[in-house]
Structure 1
């Protein structure tokens, strides 16, 4: 298949150029710069269209029931940061040109008692025994987990055990420290935990005694605008020196902070299944709680900007479908807008969701439009370098070399009753 005369908006260089390129067996095999205006027979005409690499959402909790919605928004790869790799096997083993995103996944989260999301289940393993943590890490690696996820209530010794055992198995560890009272962002980095989700644990470094369950007076003493930049820089430098990759999930918090006037772009209703709509509507009733938690959004924007300025790696993720109205796929476009609002250029924001993300994953064939790369890319009607909101002007999506229209991907969402039935059957059959 030949794609002819599109405008490549390259986030790695920040430059634009007219190109034609050939796709064979799901890969980009040849790129021609400044092609002739005459279109080859059978080619896809991209004249006056803008091309970006397929987007990568670096923090999701995907299910089959809404997976095609990511692809419909131009998100061709996701990093699933807790779930169950057995449940997700159909998505993970799907063909490269499937209408669902490529899935790089953790298995169930490893948490401390009593378990923030309840006791041990197919999606969560709860213990305070470092030896049981080691056993669980090895079980997850044997099941094919791409990374290990540790959660807020896990104590320091158990978190250390997870990091050591994962390293032995050649896997990275990702941490969510929002509710942690014992482990901070810096101490997690010192344990060898490579991925920091939500920019979590940084507030605990700056304000000892604070955590998500802390009393109101602890919340009130925090500068949520992040004006204490010197102190934040000190924490960031320590994390960067340890090689920590940051995934701030700003949109997760911004949607909460903005209730009831949350971000709802045109066409958002097409990116909600009935189940997600019910879930978000029910959660949105807890406006006051979400408004307080949502203060992290402003703080995380400051952290993201400083982390980038100091040379750290910042990736773009959303935590879809956590929180409220984190629309599958669409939420990543909001994350890019919030990164630009924080001080990123348009090209830097898109890069955080393409080549930077791919390189952090060690998947250098993703997130770029070059010869030898996977043929995952998005065709836009408008120039995203002029306005980051133009990444939402998705005209076509190419995944693994197959051309899709957004509307056909929206229609590919499976029947809800069948998806629920399948999930319940999995939970009933799961064995530790």
Structure 2
């Protein structure tokens, strides 16, 4: 990042909700000062004009990532100026926040350590990944009962997390206790309850309908609905939800005021025999040790999961169908990728693929998809003052993009980045 004077962006503007034919966004000291069609620009302001073919956007928000310091810069470089980190150790979250404060990474809203039961899948991820409550180096904590659930949420709140992540194998009693304690701390809950492809039918204890009844804020991956489908008397191995069941699931999300984060990118990568064209995405041409390690991980997973693609296809269809139905019922959908999990799920650049998946797989309009990564995402992360990311309005963080083209008509325009502004400064 470089020092910069006050900044004004002028031209066609998508502010996170609506399209302005022409507007000016005035930024000062890292915040948006004003937005309007006929703003007077103070002397000494640096002016960037989007021109007749460009569009100004808020910095994009990825609501589901597993970021690591060694690729933190990839996010702003791809126009993703804010992420919600969906689980990792508290030590890693501290590193990511330090990079953000130094202008070396995206803004980070973090869950910190995931809470899961004693039979957690994380016990197979290597020594130290699954630990006891309070272990700052562990990616997940073992929670056995209601007392430990409350203590774990207390510890996360004391560590300053922004949300609490509840995982598949928590007992119903511990899960409910964690949600209640999070509410006492004013912390939203995000949840992954497993899918048909993962452990949603073999190991998960709580289904999506139960979680929504308890008051979770976001349901990730459309998880927990495969288990709910089975508990309604169906067989997910041979049946797909009918219209009435799909409507029941979508209404449960809307009536709970919860946001669906479908992460179509992780589903899509697992169900497809063909590989994604990463070079079409920002960061897709990266070389070096980090890029090589990610590609090796994806290659191995793609080969190892070939026999599981029918289950991943089922999960993709469910997530995509619920996405459209939730919006039709007046609910909310947020954009997230689960990067780098899955196959070819690129940090930063993958959010641009997710936007297209929301259109091609779920039937959203380009504007609806953009809202999922801007205005709606900002509301998911908002405090009492309202959204400060994902929008361009007075008081918001001065994070913005200028892209070539009009992404409300052609979503691939988001990939044609001309300018990235992070905290009122040009990203370099």
Instruction: Determine whether 1:110 maps to 2:124.
Output: no
CA shift for structure 1 position 10: 3.8
CA shift for structure 1 position 294: 2.3
1:221 to 232, 235, 238: 238
Q: Which residue number in structure 2 is paired with residue 356 of structure 1? A: 376
Unaligned runs of 5+ in 1: 211-216, 409-432
CA shift for structure 1 position 88: 2.0
Q: Which residue number in structure 2 is paired with residue 388 of structure 1? A: 411
Partner SS state of residue 82, structure 1: coil
Q: Tell me whether 188-197 or 309-318 shows the greater mean CA deviation.
A: 188-197
Partner SS state of residue 152, structure 2: helix
Q: Is the 8 A contact 1:253 1:297 kept in 2?
A: yes
Q: Is the 8 A contact 2:26 2:32 kept in 1?
A: yes
2:345 to 321, 326, 334: 326
Q: Is the 8 A contact 1:207 1:222 kept in 2?
A: no
Give the total of aligned pairs.
Answer: 394
1:3 to 2, 5, 8: 8
1:82 to 65, 82, 87: 87
Unaligned runs of 5+ in 2: 1-5, 124-128, 132-137
CA shift for structure 1 position 60: 0.6
Q: Distance in 2 between matches of 1:17 and 1:198?
A: 35
Q: Which residue number in structure 1 is paired with residue 135 of structure 2? A: none
Q: Which residue number in structure 1 is paired with residue 211 of structure 2? A: 188
Alignment of 1:98-177 (within 5 A): 98-118=103-123, 120-121=130-131, 122-177=138-193
Alignment of 1:365-380 (within 5 A): 365-380=388-403
Q: Is the 8 A contact 1:112 1:155 kept in 2?
A: yes
**Cα deviation digits, residues 391-419 of structure 1 (max 9, x gap):** 11111110101112xxx4xxxxxxxxxxx
Partner SS state of residue 325, structure 1: coil
Instruction: Determine whether 1:198 maps to 2:215.
Output: no
Q: Which residue number in structure 1 is paired with residue 134 of structure 2? A: none
Q: Tell me whether 117-126 or 147-156 shows the greater mean CA deviation.
A: 117-126
Q: Which residue number in structure 2 is paired with residue 303 of structure 1? A: 322
Partner SS state of residue 87, structure 1: helix
CA shift for structure 1 position 41: 7.5
Q: Distance in 2 between matches of 1:52 and 1:97?
A: 23
Q: Distance in 1 between matches of 2:326 and 2:261?
A: 11
2:303 to 261, 274, 285: 285
TM-score normalised by L of structure 1: 0.85
CA 132–11 in structure 1, closer or farther in 2 if over 3 Å, else same: closer
Q: Distance in 1 between matches of 2:248 and 2:64?
A: 25
Q: Is the 8 A contact 2:9 2:56 kept in 1?
A: no
The CA RMSD measured in Å over matched residues stands at 2.5
**Cα deviation digits, residues 19-55 of structure 1 (max 9, x gap):** 233221011223342679xx98743332232111111
